[in-house]
Amino acid sequence: MTNNNLFSVDQLTIKFGGLTAVDRVSFRVEPGSIFSIIGPNGAGKTTIFNCINGLYKPDAGSIIFKGEDIVGQKPHRIARKGIARTFQNIELFSRMTTMENLMLGRHIHMKTNVWTGATFFRRGSKAAQDEIKHRERVEKIIDLLDLQSARNQFVGGLPYGTQKLIELGRALALEPELLLLDEPSAGMNSEEKQDLVFWIKDIQDELGLTILLIEHDMKMVMDISDLILVINFGKPITEGKPEEVQRHPEVLKAYLGEDEVIDQSA
Amino acid sequence: MDMKRDYYEDIQLLNSKILWFWFIMLIASLATLPFLLPNYHIYMVNYMAINVIVTVGLNILVGYTGQISLGHAGFFAIGAYGTVLLMTNLHFPFLLALVCSALIAAFFGFILGLPALRLEGPYLAIATLGFGMAITQVIGRWQVFGGRMGLEAPDLSLGPFVIDTDRQLYFVIVTIAFLLILAARNMMKTRVGRAFIAIRDSDIAAETMGVNLTLYKTLAFAVSAFYAGVAGGLMAFLLGFINPSSFNFILSIYFLAFVIVGGLGSIFGSIMGAVVMTWLLLTLDKVQELPYLGAVLVSFSERWMNLAGLPNIASIIFGLIIILLVVFEPLGLYGFWIRTKIYWKTWPF
């Protein structure tokens, strides 16, 4: 059981004042699968991500990653354990180049400190070796995501779709075991979305990552998810395979509204 | 531009023959400069170099990490008093005393960095302002620090060399400044510097990518304070005499002005900012010696202010220049430099 259990969330609850943003949500993610969380705006999807990351501290429940409860740990600790994420509203380092953004993703794997960093003057110095080694890794990610043209540009001025990809690349640079993607396709056109689906599948196959996905594009979710969890008002509605979820009456209600409501407005 | 063959060339400081040429020219001209300049100008260049050190350090904190400090005169004072006291009381050799007192300043920087974990913007500004003023008060009242009377800098020697003129001091100060600038540049190009910049641009993303905010924010304060400490230690010997009023909070404001005038987040900008503003400050101090204008200002001052109001004119002009620069070139002198470079590259279009 434990070796098969990479990541699970149990009875996760968080309240903001009187509002219960996430209410007893539980799920388990199989290693190497793509698990999607869907639900209307404000359903608490991103809040779940923020709890996993350690940005929010949940009021109750546990989050088990590789057999350890990570609730209450600091975000940078959780990152070191192998969880990386992207953000719904891009959180790139806008006045750094693409290269530097991805290099920051290598932060936890690098060793350079203030002293070795300040005194790197030769090719053989520790900091230079560290840089060179990790640049090679980053170049691979740049190749994988076709980011060569953006390599040395400041990310702040790049197109939205490219920025989304760089965020994905930065998360990959961390070499996570669990990757959290918060609406990766938001703001992309249909061509970019197709590419993204391709890349996500590619990443999953090649790197063997487990992916937790929040997404509004239903076609994409149904295409790539192994399992889907639907939540509304912070409460889980149902969980299942894409075709099961699609037909679930509660899901239709949450997304399309109830019959009576539609009748009244018509 | 020639092709790059490996990743090292990407991060090298001097990655072409032309750059090597200019680098050697720069060192050569810095080495011959003191033999060409009159004494007062050497003093001025020393002053500039010291301010460059503080400004580069402060820029690491303000420009790169996105924090603020209105208390850097405090670290400057710790460096100055620390160096003098370690040398006179404990008979430390100069360089050891300098490094030790800079490390003490860095330790205080680390302590001051702790509230920065909870405070932002104006709140942090006030906290650091309080720190700077407290330091001046403490050294002003404590007999060990010479109280209001201040302390005299001891004789300075480096191994067999006795250093007692500004020209000799020039080599000490400029060498240290040069090394610290290179160190800052290297730091900003590698892991630690990237973490600083990441915190400035998005602390949430930095955190979720594994950057320990507590560690790196306090580290930025410590590194910045270290630079100010070294500069303070050198200043003690340039002035020959230190007292609490040399380190009042106006000095902290000046340091911040150097950073902003030079350009936030640019080491080259810091150098320009410190050099230009130091020149301006020292020149405005002697405003009455200017031909024609000086006499006009003196009579204006006698008519409308008291004669002691004359130094205020320096402050007014200084302030005005800062305002104009920030309004017309928000990127500071560095922005001006970039635009000039682009202009020459694309000339005649």
Helix runs in chain A, H state only: 45-53, 75-81, 98-105, 114-118, 126-144, 160-173, 190-207, 218-224, 242-247, 249-256, 259-265
Average pLDDT, chain B: 90
Tokens in use for B219? 């580290």
DSSP B144: G
Taking a C-beta distance cutoff of 8 angstroms, is the pair A74, A140 a contact? no
Taking a C-beta distance cutoff of 8 angstroms, is the pair B86, B127 a contact? no
Structure confidence at residue B295 (pLDDT): 80
For the purposes of burial, counting CB atoms within 10 Å of the CB of A60, is it exposed (0-12), middle (13-18) or buried (19 or more)?
A: middle
3-class SS of residue A22: strand
Between CA A184 and CA A181 the distance in angstroms is: 6
Residues of A in contact with B267 (CB under 8 A): none
- What residues 90-109 of chain A have any CB closer than 8 A to a CB of chain B? 91-96, 100, 103-105, 107-108
Q: What b/e sequence results for B128-137 when a residue is b if at least 16 CB atoms lie within 10 Å of its CB, and e otherwise? A: bbbbbbebbe
Nearest residue to A175 (alpha-carbon basis) of A139, A208, A142, A214: A208
Average pLDDT, chain A: 90
Structure confidence at residue B308 (pLDDT): 65
Helix runs in B4-71, H state only: 7-11, 17-36, 39-59
Q: Does the structure show a pLDDT above 70 at B1?
A: no
Q: Does the structure show a pLDDT above 80 at B8?
A: no
Between CA A243 and CA B253 the distance in angstroms is: 65
B283 against A28, higher pLDDT:
A28
| Domain extents in chain B | 41-248
CA atoms within 13 A on the CB side of B280: 20
Please give the single-letter amino acid code of residue B147. G
Nearest residue to B82 (alpha-carbon basis) of B92, B67, B72, B71: B92
Structure confidence at residue A262 (pLDDT): 47
Mutation target vs B (from A50, A91, A168; most B CBs, 10 A cutoff): A91
Q: Does the structure show a pLDDT above 60 at A234?
A: yes
Q: What is the mean pLDDT of residues B155-178?
A: 91
| Domain extents in chain A | 2-82+176-265, 97-173
B199 against A40, higher pLDDT:
B199
Question: How remote is the C-alpha of B303 from its chain's centroid?
Answer: 37
- What residues 156-175 of chain A have any CB closer than 8 A to a CB of chain B? 170-171, 174
Structure confidence at residue B178 (pLDDT): 96
> pLDDT confidence of B70, banded at 50, 70, 90?
very high
> pLDDT confidence of B306, banded at 50, 70, 90?
low
Nearest beta carbon to residue A75 from set B187, B190, B207? B207
Q: Does the structure show a pLDDT above 50 at B221?
A: yes
Comparing alpha-carbon positions, the chain A residue that sits nearest to B224 is A114
- List pLDDT tens digits, range B205-216: 999 999 999 999
Taking a C-beta distance cutoff of 8 angstroms, is the pair B209, A85 a contact? no
- The ipTM is 0.91
- List pLDDT tens digits, range B14-45: 777 888 899 999 999 999 999 999 988 999 99
Q: Does the structure show a pLDDT above 70 at B217?
A: yes
Between CA A110 and CA B190 the distance in angstroms is: 10
DSSP A41: T
Q: Does the structure show a pLDDT above 60 at B195?
A: yes
- Judged by phi (left if over 0) then psi (alpha if -120 to 50, else beta), residue B69 lies in beta
Mutation target vs A (from B11, B191, B197, B211; most A CBs, 10 A cutoff): B191
Question: How remote is the C-alpha of B151 from its chain's centroid?
Answer: 22
CA atoms within 13 A on the CB side of B331: 9
DSSP B93: -
- List pLDDT tens digits, range B241-278: 999 988 988 899 999 999 999 999 999 999 999 999 99
Between CA A244 and CA A153 the distance in angstroms is: 45
- List pLDDT tens digits, range A13-60: 999 988 999 999 999 999 999 999 999 888 999 999 999 999 999 999
CATH class of the structural domain A2-82+176-265: alpha beta
> pLDDT confidence of A263, banded at 50, 70, 90?
very low
Structure confidence at residue B346 (pLDDT): 81
For the purposes of burial, counting CB atoms within 10 Å of the CB of B271, is it exposed (0-12), middle (13-18) or buried (19 or more)?
A: buried
Comparing alpha-carbon positions, the chain A residue that sits nearest to B222 is A114
Q: Give the end-to-end CA distance of chain B in Å, rounded to a whole number.
A: 22
Q: What is the mean pLDDT of residues A54-72?
A: 94
> pLDDT confidence of A4, banded at 50, 70, 90?
low
Asked if B212's CB is within 8 angstroms of A135's CB, the reply is no
Q: Does the structure show a pLDDT above 90 at A195?
A: no
Asked if A95's CB is within 8 angstroms of B7's CB, the reply is no
Between CA A60 and CA A58 the distance in angstroms is: 6
The answer to whether B326 faces chain A, any CB pair under 8 Å, is: no
Q: Does the structure show a pLDDT above 90 at B297?
A: no
DSSP string of B180-193? HHHHHHHHHHSHHH
- List pLDDT tens digits, range B225-243: 999 999 999 999 999 999 9
Torsion of CA A237, A242, A248, A251, to 10 degrees: 50
Q: Does the structure show a pLDDT above 90 at B117?
A: no
Q: Name the E strands within B175-286.
A: 241-242
